[in-house]
């Protein structure tokens, strides 16, 4: 059973606007969450993470929000750029890694 879900397989956003990628999880024991970005034919690269003791972490244009009560994680990219077009995976860690299935983001110039 998928413990981490990304329910939107794809997302299209205009350049300059905000991209919001969502992730839901089921296990309240997860204590660390990560977002990865993946270009075709490459392995996922680490983007940003958040500990369960926080509800927000910001790094430049990327902000991750954690809502523990809703078991929901989101990644905000603002402003979105064409180079952000990639597949984004969220992952949760609690002794093992649990990955979502990915959301393909397309930023339209």
Partner 1 sequence: GAVVSQHPSRVICKSGTSVKIECRSLDFQATTMFWYRQFPKQSLMLMATSNEGSKATYEQGVEKDKFLINHASLTLSTLTVTSAHPEDSSFYICSAGLAGRLETQYFGPGTRLLVL
Which one, 77 or 92, has the nearer CB to partner 1? 92
Q: Which of 61, 69, 70, 2 is nearest to 35 (CA)?
A: 61
Residue linked to tokens 């296990």:
27
Minimum gap (Å) between residue 27 Cβ and partner 1? 12
Minimum gap (Å) between residue 105 Cβ and partner 1? 11
Any contact of residue 57 with partner 1 (CB under 8 A)? no
Q: How far apart are CA 58 and CA 49, in angstroms?
A: 9
Close Cβ partners of 108 (under 8 Å, ≥ 6 residues apart): 12, 13, 14, 15, 82
Looking at residue 6, what DSSP letter applies? -
Any contact of residue 101 with partner 1 (CB under 8 A)? yes
Of 33, 35, 44, 80, the one binding partner 1 (CB under 8 A) is: 44
Any contact of residue 35 with partner 1 (CB under 8 A)? no
In the complex, which residues of this chain contact partner 1 (CB under 8 A)?
1-2, 5, 9, 36, 42-46, 49, 87, 89, 91, 95-99, 101-102, 104
């Amino acid at each position: 059973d998928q413990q981490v879900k990304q329910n939107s397989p794809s997302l299209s956003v205009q350049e300059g606007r905000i991209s919001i990628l969502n992730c839901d999880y089921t296990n309240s024991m997860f204590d660390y969450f990560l977002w990865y970005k993946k270009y075709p034919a490459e392995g996922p690269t680490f983007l940003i993470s958040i500990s369960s003791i926080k509800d927000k972490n910001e790094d430049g244009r990327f902000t991750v929000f954690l809502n523990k009560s809703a078991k929901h994680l989101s990644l905000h990219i603002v402003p979105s750029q064409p180079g952000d077009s990639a597949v984004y995976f969220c992952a949760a860690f609690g002794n093992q890694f649990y990955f979502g299935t990915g959301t393909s983001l397309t930023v339209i110039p």
